[in-house]
Amino acid sequence: MTHADVAQHATDVANHADSLILTLVGGFVLAFVFGMLANRMKLSPLVGYLVAGVIVGPHTAGFVADQELAPQLAEIGVILLMFGVGLHFSLADLMKVRKIAIPGALVQIAAATALGWGLGRLMGMGDVEAVLMGFALSVASTVVLLRALEERKQVKGDVGKIAMGWLIVEDLVIVIALVVLPLVVIQPGAEVNGMQLAASMGWTLFKVAAFTAVMLVVGAKVLPWVLVRIAHTKSRELFTLGVLAIALGIAWVAYALFHSFAMGAFLAGLVLNSSPLGHNAAERSLPLRDAFAVLFFVSVGMLFDWHILIERPLAVLGVLAIIIIGKSLAALAITTAFKLDKATSLTVAAALAQIGEFSFILTKMSVDLGGMSPDTQNLILAAALLSISLNPFVFALIDRWGGKPKPPVKEAPPVSALI
């Protein structure tokens, strides 16, 4: 080995050694800067995080973050996001609005999937890829929806309960889909054995059901007991570490059983949610969840090639139309069928007229499995970025049409008779 080879090797080792810190510094600093800019522009900070990812990604000049390390950090973000969804999942709230939320979410998912399939076929995609694109467009972002409802002070009102219940059903459908997806995506040219596929799917669903039962029966007793024992140490650090160990550990077990970090993390959060210390667990894990969620969105932004906005503007507009117009019309049709008032119907429709984190998770998995091309993923990322950016303007538009919340003069009557 020559002196030059030794020097080059030493440089490569040094670059690899500091890639973690460079990725973290670059991701967090740029996410903060662009998140603040987005906030000042009355947009969701998610827009800023995604833009930060574009800047440190391979499709722009300058510094490029480690493209192998960033997705691994993003995977931790997915686990903690799903853990947070489980911690805030309320079956009682869902049951109150089940007559609207369950059929509404299922019909809207079906409508968005059908529209996505139709558009995908027009663009020359195969049936599987077209269906996956439509499915990815069907679920809204929890982060964006909560922010919009908080700004309008409607989180605890009837509108907020319906919208959140609707979103919970969408989340549950996507969680199940993430488990089943590896089984239904068939590689081109591969032979499909119907009996073998059915057996594999049945075995996977059995493992999911068994794991869920163990978590809800055994885990519901063991995990809270463990948290109480940790709380008795009166150490904040140990309690926080214990919560994270539970979330990451159970997610890893679920991945080992049926290749789904998301399902395990969601169930861990769901079990802890019902424990006496569930609120403390949510509070302790929040800072890390927020930090790794930012890295998740930055990692997604790194995948986005902005050139598609110039090269295929009509395709991007078509996908965006499904998200903003197609999903909104489906929501309006359902809420109108249940005879909800105009303001409630319009607000629910506007709140769901965007896509976010679950769509990113689904598209990434689809690409990894070979069921979706990176170009289609890029279309979805472009439309997602635009839909999140345009969501405040969608709310401004529905306010002009009668969706603006009226200042409460007296306590509004419950809608329990309708839902």
pLDDT tens for each residue of 125-148: 988 899 999 999 998 887 788 778
pLDDT at 321: 96
d(CA 84, CA 268): 9
Cα–Cα distances in angstroms (integers) from residue 268 to residues 139, 224, 322, 397, 410, in the given order: 22, 11, 34, 40, 40
Of the candidate ranges 104-113, 243-252, 407-416, the one whose mean pLDDT is the lowest: 407-416
pLDDT at 17: 60
pLDDT at 163: 85
Range list of H helices, 232-356:
236-258, 261-273, 278-303, 308-311, 313-321, 327-337, 342-351
Residues 341-390: tens digit of each pLDDT: 888 888 889 989 999 888 888 898 898 888 899 999 999 999 999 998 89
Note whether 171 and 358 are within 8 A (CB): yes
Pick from 8, 137, 413, 89: which is nearest to 282 by CA? 89
Proportion of the chain above pLDDT 70, given as a percent: 89
Cα–Cα distances in angstroms (integers) from residue 400 to residues 49, 323, 328, 405, in the given order: 30, 20, 16, 11
Angle at 296 between CA 63 and CA 137, to 5 degrees: 115
Cα–Cα distances in angstroms (integers) from residue 305 to residues 45, 68, 134, 291, in the given order: 20, 17, 20, 24
d(CA 299, CA 28): 11
Given a cut of 90, whether residue 326 has pLDDT beyond it is yes
Asked if the 84-186+194-278+304-403 domain carries CATH number 3.30.70.20, the reply is: no
Residues 24-49: tens digit of each pLDDT: 888 899 999 999 999 898 888 888 99
pLDDT at 77: 80
Q: Which helix (H) or strand (E) holds 195?
A: helix 194-214
d(CA 380, CA 374): 10
- For the chain, which residues make up each domain, given as ranges? 84-186+194-278+304-403
d(CA 41, CA 289): 25
Residues 89-113: tens digit of each pLDDT: 767 777 888 888 889 999 999 999 9
What's the first-to-final CA gap in the chain, in angstroms? 75
Give the burial string for 236-272 (b: 16+ CB within 10 Å, else e).
eeebbebbbebbbebbebbbebbebbbbbbbbbbbbb
Of the candidate ranges 211-225, 313-327, 400-414, the one whose mean pLDDT is the lowest: 400-414
Which residue, chain included where needed, has tokens 């440089």? Answer: 11
Quote the crossing angle between the two packed helices 374-398 and 45-56, to the nearest 10°: 150
d(CA 76, CA 296): 8
pLDDT at 112: 94
Proportion of the chain above pLDDT 90, given as a percent: 22
pLDDT at 209: 85
Given a cut of 80, whether residue 155 has pLDDT beyond it is no
- Region for 234 from its dihedrals, namely left if φ exceeds 0, alpha if ψ lies in -120 to 50, beta otherwise: left
pLDDT at 377: 92
Pick from 228, 164, 173, 206: which is nearest to 358 by CA? 173
Average pLDDT over residues 147-163: 80
Note whether 393 and 47 are within 8 A (CB): no
The CB density around residue 10, as the number of other CB atoms within 10 Å, is 10
d(CA 93, CA 88): 11
Which band of pLDDT confidence, cut at 50, 70 and 90, is reported for residue 247? Answer: confident
* Mean pLDDT of the residues in the chain: 82
What tokens were used for 407? 């200042």
Given a cut of 70, whether residue 15 has pLDDT beyond it is no
Of the candidate ranges 38-47, 292-301, 367-376, 404-413, the one whose mean pLDDT is the lowest: 404-413
pLDDT at 319: 95
Burial class (CB in 10 A: 0-12, 13-18, 19+), 217: exposed
The CB density around residue 131, as the number of other CB atoms within 10 Å, is 19
Question: Phi and psi (nearest 5°) for 32?
Answer: -65, -45
Which band of pLDDT confidence, cut at 50, 70 and 90, is reported for residue 269? Answer: confident
d(CA 27, CA 21): 10
pLDDT at 251: 87
Residues 175-216: tens digit of each pLDDT: 888 888 887 776 555 555 667 777 777 887 888 888 888 888
CA dihedral 136, 142, 148, 149 (to 10 degrees): 130
Q: Which of 327 and 272 is assigned the larger pLDDT? A: 327
pLDDT at 11: 43
- Region for 341 from its dihedrals, namely left if φ exceeds 0, alpha if ψ lies in -120 to 50, beta otherwise: beta
pLDDT at 186: 64
Which band of pLDDT confidence, cut at 50, 70 and 90, is reported for residue 22? Answer: confident
pLDDT at 259: 73
